[in-house]
Each structure stands twice: as structure tokens, then as C-alpha cells.
A and B are shown apart, each in its own frame.
Chain A
Amino acid sequence: MISSANSSSSRSRVDAALRPALFALATASAALLALVLLFLAGESWPALAEGGWRRFLASDGWYPASGDFDLWPMAWATLAAATGALAIALPLGVGGAIFTRFYAPPPLAAAFRRLLGLLAGIPSVVFGLWGLTVLVPILARWQPPGTSLAAAILILALMVLPTVALTADSALAAVPPDWLAGAHALGLTRSATVLRVALPAARAGIAGGALLAAARALGETMAVLMVAGNVVQTPTGLFEPVRVLTANIALEMAYAAGTHRAALFASGLLLTALVALLAWSAARVGERTNA
């Protein structure tokens, strides 16, 4: 923590008031997160205490009415959907960012960036509705039933594409111009400059954007709920219906009571753990590349 105590000459009444106020704000936001975690743990406690955490890992499927709460199939489905979405969005987004930064004429690049900003602002339920009424019927004609892991991946890829592209774009923009000029002066071709200078320098920013996108893909609810089919089963193929953890909560929460409700909070806890793991690895990636 950087203390302002040493620069006593500039200490004013404003500083004296600002410090406790900012401290209170910082404490409040940290406390909020702690409260959310405590709440999740508290609400899922009845299910955890009654059958132990094992019931979430070794039950005979997800049949809340008869007390079976196996979370594995949904955890796998969640990871598969997020990974698949990134696998599509990453090359598209980074490719698009390189194009706008190094190859596109400025008016086209500006239009492209504005388009991505617009795409980022579309509410997820709109993507879901489009997926349900356009994408799923197309898939259904080819590989019934249509509502599937593939549909979820495609919709999620569309939703996280702007995040990937915009963060990659600003990471590339932050590459020091001297380096690019130096590469040019050394007689490197444009492709070599991009691949050997700009991309390695922007690596941390691109990775950060990818992890941000992954977190969004893990947490997305409505759009996936509408296109994934929501059958609880371990994904075995792209065209099989799956249910992700968020959809599970949204589908059943309004109707759940007792242990069933607690089990839904436990799936929320698992999801939070997944996102926390992701945030932690994002921090690690940032540290390593900055060091």
C-alpha cells in the first residue's frame, strides 16, 4: 500500500477525508463478495450437511425429487460449452483485431470496432431468441433435435466474440510504436512484424481478454437455456442436448423447495468456484508475463 503520510507538505483536509471514504468503499465491495459467498454456502448447507458433498459427485443422475443430485454431467457440459465457444471466438477475434490494427484502411477499422461494440451490447436473451427460432431449426433439419451442445457453443461464441476482439485490439494498440518502427527499420515484413513483435508483446492482454470471455461464457444463462436442450447428461457428442449449471438454477429455482433448493445453491457454489479458479489463473498469467 502506498502511503501519503510522507508527502506531508501536500496533505490537505481533502486527503484526510478521502482516505477513510475510499477505505470504506473498498471494504464495502470486498464485504459484498464475502457476503455473496457466505450466502451461497449458507443456503446450500442443508444439502451439504444432509448427504455430504459426495452426493453431488456420486449420485445416480440429477433427480431432485428422489434426492439424487449429481453435478458432474452439468459441470462437464458447462466446461465443454465455454471451451468450445472460446475455440471459435479466439481465432476469429484475434484475427479480426490484427486485421483492423495492421491491414484495414482506417474508416473500415473504425466501422468494424463500432460494430463489435454494438454486438457486445446486445442483451443475451436476444441471442437466445435468435438461437431458438433460427439457429436451432437449422441444426434440427440437419442433426435432430437441434437443441444441443453445438447450438450452445455457437451462441456463446457469438456473445464472447466482441470481448475477445476488443481486448485483443486494445492490447495490440498498446504495443509501443517504437517497437513496430524498429521492426520496420530492420526490414521485417508486415507479417513478421505482426507475428514476431506485436503478437508476443500483446500476449498478456489477449490472454486476459480470453479469460474474461471464458468467465462470461461460464456464467451465461438465458441464451444457453434456450438453445442447449437442458437434458442432464454428460456430453458425448456435439449434437447431444446438455444442461449447464446456470441453466439448471434458472430452470428449477422457482419451483424448488427444501433440499432441492439447497442443491441448486450448491450448483451456484460450484460455478462460483469455477469462475474463481479462472480469475486466479488469469492473475497468474498476468504475473508471469509482466515479470
Chain B
Amino acid sequence: MRSSITRTAALLCALCFAAGAQAADERLVLTGSSTVAPLALEIGKRFERENPGVRVDVQSGGSSRGVNDARSGLADIGMASRALEPAEADLNADAIAMDGIGLIVHADNPVHTLDADQVRAIYTGALTNWKAVGGPDRRITVVNKAEGRSTLALFLHHFGLTNRQIRAQVVIGDNEQGIKTVAGNPGAIGYVSIGTAEFDQAQGVPIRLLPMGGIAATVDNVASGRFPLARPLNLVTTGTPGPLVRRFIAFARSERVRDLVREQFFVPLAR
């Protein structure tokens, strides 16, 4: 009886090794931001097609993981949906696209603009009714992002808030969930990626992007750098990347992947 168990275990192990042995000649490993990962995956696929024998592996796990993995050498390239911090000055960051974050409200909401103090008051729970900012007598539903997302970090940083101060009624994961939540609630306010919001708005989803600091939340204003709440999508590497890594980064920044950047609702780099 015991021997049959051992035999089964041995067979399982053999199968695992056989599966692991099939590897490509050259491999690029990218880890990090789950915002960048879908775009990197598409770019990787095109890169594989143009460079036979190369395999591009993309794993998501947050910007911090991307930076850490690039530094430790666990990944050839780290992905980060934010600019590098001063403590990370030992690394290189190459932007492959921009992403803007815009406040959205329901299309029926007559409030067309909010200043920074009003946004702060709404998100900290000091203002709970749209009447106070010139809207109808309706309770405000504050939509916030879940902890760990770089969108949240960027939003908090821009308005000088901490997550403890925020009094949210809904906490969401991805952009689409945020847009659906706001579209279904005339009193809701949230913040999402501008590219995604603009696309959904064009599809007839009842939401409206609010301008920030007097600048309209459009993809064009993000591309030109005028929109204040924007972030670069970076590929992070250590001091001396190898030739294959350099080739991939040059490819990811080139004209040849602009359509992929647009397909993922990000903003291509301005030329």
C-alpha cells in the first residue's frame, strides 16, 4: 500500500518537472502594477511575434512589487503606475504612456465644477449633501478606491489627504466598477482613469467628468501635460539593463504600439 503511494507521488513529480522543462530561448520577466500589466501583456505579445524565440512573462502585483522586483533582479523589468520616489533614485524609469485621473459624477447631476476645498470636504464627510455645492437636495455618495491601489495614493497625495480621513460610502476595485456605481446613483461622486471614463461616456453611460483646477478632464489635456492629476506608466530597470531589455523598452515607447496604448484607454506619450 505504501509503495503505491510513493509511486503516485513520484509520477506527479515527474509530470511537474516535464511541464517546467519547456522554456523558450530568451525570457523577459515583467512584474508590478496591475494598471500597466494589461498594456505590457499586449505589447509583449507583439514583441514576441516580431522577435521569434523570445518569451515575455507579465505578472501583476502592484507598483511597489514592480520596483522591488526590478531592484532585486527577480524581474527584468518592473512596472509602476507612478513616478519614482526620491528613495528609488537608483533605478531608471521609462514612461510608456500617461494616465489621467478624473472625478466623475452622474450625468443628471447639475454640479459642473468643484474646487479642491469642496472635493476635500466631500471626501472627508464634512459636506454630505449636494445642496451645499449648488446642487439638488440629495445625499452625496462618496466612492473611494480600495487600499493599495496607486490611483488612491495619487488622489490622496494630490488633495493632501490620508485614507483615515476619508468617509466613503462605497469602496471599489477597478475603474469599471466605479463607473457602474456612479452611473447607477445620481448622488455619487468617484474618481477613475480618464481614458476609461471618456470611452464609457461616448458609449452613452450616464456619467460626467468634472474639470480639475479649471482644466477639462480630457485625454488631450492629459497628453499635453496640462491636466494636474496624471501619472506616468513606467517601466523600471536597474542601472545597466541588458540588450534585450533595452530593445523591449525602446519598442514599448515606439510608434508601433500606440494603437495598443489607445486600446487600453491610456494616453500615448506626446511627441
B-contacting residues of A (Cβ < 8 Å)? 19-21, 23-24, 27-28, 61-66, 132-133, 136-137, 140, 144-147, 225-226, 229-232, 241, 243, 250-252, 254-257, 260
Tell me the complex Cα distance, A243–B170, Å: 10
**Cα A28 to Cα B4 with chains together (Å):** 12
- CB <8 Å contact, A260 and B169: no
Residues of the A chain whose Cβ atoms lie less than 8 Å from the Cβ of B149: 255
The segment from B171-179, B194-202, B240-248 that touches chain A is: B171-179
Q: A241-B169, A243-B171 are known contacts. Are A254 and B61 too (CB-CB below 8 A)?
A: yes
Question: Contacts A145-B170, A255-B34, A257-B65 given: A65-B147 contact, CB under 8 Å?
Answer: yes
**Interface residues of B, count at CB 8 A:** 34
**Known contacts A63-B164, A226-B177: A256-B148 contact under CB 8 Å:** yes
Question: In the complex, what distance in Å separates the CA atom of A64 from the CA atom of B171?
Answer: 15
A119-B170 Cα distance, complex, nearest whole Å:
28
B262 on interface, CB distance cutoff 8 Å: no
Q: Are A146 and B62 in contact (CB under 8 A)?
A: no
B185-A140 in contact (CB<8A): yes
The 3 closest A-B pairs by CB, nearest first: A255-B148, A145-B141, A137-B184
Chain A, residue nearest B5 (CB): A24
A229 to B168, CA, bound (A): 9
Could you list 15 further interchain pairs (A-B, Cβ under 8 angstroms) beyond the known A24-B4, A132-B177, A232-B171?
A19-B1, A20-B4, A20-B5, A64-B147, A133-B180, A136-B184, A137-B184, A144-B141, A145-B141, A146-B141, A146-B184, A146-B185, A147-B181, A252-B147, A255-B62
A63 touches B177 (CB 8 A): no
A62 to B5, CA, bound (A): 45
B62 and A251 contact, CB distance less than 8 A? no
Contact with A along B56-74 (1 / 0, CB 8 A): 0000111011001000000
